[in-house]
Amino acid sequence: MKKIILILLPLLMMVGCKKDLTSLNVDPKNPQSVPSRSLFTNAQHTLANTLASSSVNLNIFRLIVQYWTETTYVDESQFDLNTRQIPRGVWNTLYRDVLKDFEEAKRTIPSDVADANVQKNQITITDIMEVYTWYYLVTTFGNIPYTDALNIENPFPKYDDQKAIVDDLLKRLDADITALNISAESFGSADIVYEGDVAAWKKFANSLKLKIGMTIADADAAKAKTTVESAVASGVFTSNADNAQFNFLSGPPNTNPIWVDLVQSGRKDFVATNTIVNKMKLLGDPRMPYYFTFDATGSDYSGGVPGASNNYATFSKPAGPLLVPGSTGMITNPDFPHLLLSYDEVEFFLADEGVYFSELSPRPHDTGMVTLAGTQNFSEFELHLRAVFGLPIYEIKLERAGASSVILAGDHGVNPRYDGLTDALNHPQSDVRIFGKPSTRPYRRMGVALTYDEVGSDVHSLVSKAKKIASEVSVKSDTAEASH
């Protein structure tokens, strides 16, 4: 009997060890299989977190456009993107993390969802989110991997032309808008933005299409026109209720990243800039307390100098009572939402069913160089300086009718040259301004043609004249290899 027990004991131990060893190989924190709904939610969160972030390692748009500036460490306010490898951080997060999760969600939806209509809506909405993410990458980096992208078997995907990518994104949006079935369900609560509301996603897709159409207005005016008109006809945002809003939570880890960066961290890295504060004060902008706190006086607003060291205690700060007690705004609250696309942005693009303008710029811009033709008493450069230094702008008067047309580069190159300038400068009541940029790329703005006439003149004729002058200037350049 003792021998039998001794023989059975090792066998039982072997069986027990085999079971334990198998379970030890499973990492519960890194599952090999993830539901498509979880992938979709995580990608939405990572996308919103990246675009809302104020981290100097990831997203410095508030410093670039001079809403905020830094106090002690001012590299990023001085447009240093390389020290912290910010472009790499943006690319890795949106490409590797966001797009890969969306793509994986599309791959696994058919096996996770039985209802064919729900399945189709989920795949379509995921594709709309992919288009949105690709739009940010292609407008940030230009030519990028696209057709060969997101393939782990291809570590060296080819780079696609920026225009070709944008054209394909518009095709995808058209197909997605058609494919959405508003009578069927989609992601439900796994969709943090619209909670599965398919009709809302259709409006979002059309509004994104409108935005992309406005983006290509300078490069392809005819296509931009048809894109915008098609989007509006199909149905864009018509109120704030349509906003694509990602709602963060009041407790970690899914909180507003600005709260993480400014409040939870306890750091004192950012203050408002005099660029925006002075302009808002000049206009009597009622939104001031929702953006910024009072400064050290306790009753007024002031901003620091962009790119310089600024005393944190002296100037206004991003608004929020958790950062500065008594502050009205909520930007720094943990549950402050992030807007992926909003009704006011759509309204900026449209006025009386027509295009209003296609972008905002917090600096002198080529579209404002028409003021150099004497169209008003202050040029855009003088207006910018007056805003920065807090000088009065007593009155802006129209003194001439005017128009401008951009001169675009066609290829990648260096050492640009300009053919046709003699002919372009031979037109009366016109001028040509060359920006002096050292390199070219497709659709890069290299100069501008200006035309003007007395107040009351036909503006459409001036626009046509400016376009003709711009077309007479041809931008040539050397290839990068030839310049070495």
Give the separation between CA 321 and CA 323, rounded to whole angstroms.
Answer: 5
Amino acid found at 304: G
Amino acid found at 20: D
Mean pLDDT of 161-173: 97
For residues 82 and 287, the answer to whether their CB atoms sit within 8 Å is: no
For residues 125 and 201, the answer to whether their CB atoms sit within 8 Å is: yes
Torsion sign, CA atoms 103, 107, 109, 112: negative
Residues counted in the chain: 484
CA neighbor of 135 nearest in space, from 98, 101, 107: 98
Amino acid found at 381: F
Give pLDDT tens digits for 309-359: 999 999 999 999 999 999 989 999 999 999 999 999 998 888 644 544 445
Give the separation between CA 287 and CA 200, rounded to whole angstroms.
Answer: 28
Strand, coil or helix: 418: strand
Q: Would the pLDDT of 481 be above 70? A: no
Give the separation between CA 13 and CA 6, rounded to whole angstroms.
Answer: 11
Query: Which residues are within 8 A (CB) of 345 and not within 5 positions of it... i.e. 6 or more apart?
Result: 207, 211
Query: Which residues are within 8 A (CB) of 147 and not within 5 positions of it... i.e. 6 or more apart?
Result: 157, 158, 160
Structure pTM?
0.72
Amino acid found at 124: T
Q: Would the pLDDT of 482 be above 50? A: no
Q: What is the CA radius of gyration of the chain?
A: 27
Q: Would the pLDDT of 30 be above 90? A: no
What region, left, alpha or beta, does residue 298 occupy, with left being phi > 0 and alpha being psi -120 to 50 degrees?
Answer: left
- Average pLDDT, whole number, for the chain? 89
CA neighbor of 125 nearest in space, from 191, 209, 51, 189: 191
Query: Which residues are within 8 A (CB) of 364 and not within 5 positions of it... i.e. 6 or more apart?
Result: 380, 381, 384
pLDDT for 21 equals 59
pLDDT for 484 equals 39
Strand, coil or helix: 180: coil
Give the separation between CA 45 and CA 36, rounded to whole angstroms.
Answer: 14
Between 311 and 373, where is the model more confident? 311
The pair of three-digit structure tokens given for residue 75, joined into one six-digit string: 């590299």
The pair of three-digit structure tokens given for residue 314, joined into one six-digit string: 């002296």
For residues 332 and 263, the answer to whether their CB atoms sit within 8 Å is: yes
pLDDT for 483 equals 42
CA max distance for the chain: 117
The HSE-up count of residue 65 (CA atoms within 13 Å, CB side) is 10
pLDDT for 467 equals 92
pLDDT for 291 equals 95
**All structural domains of the chain:** 364-478 (3.30.470.20)
Q: Would the pLDDT of 453 be above 80? A: yes
Phi, psi (deg, nearest 5) at residue 292: -135, 155
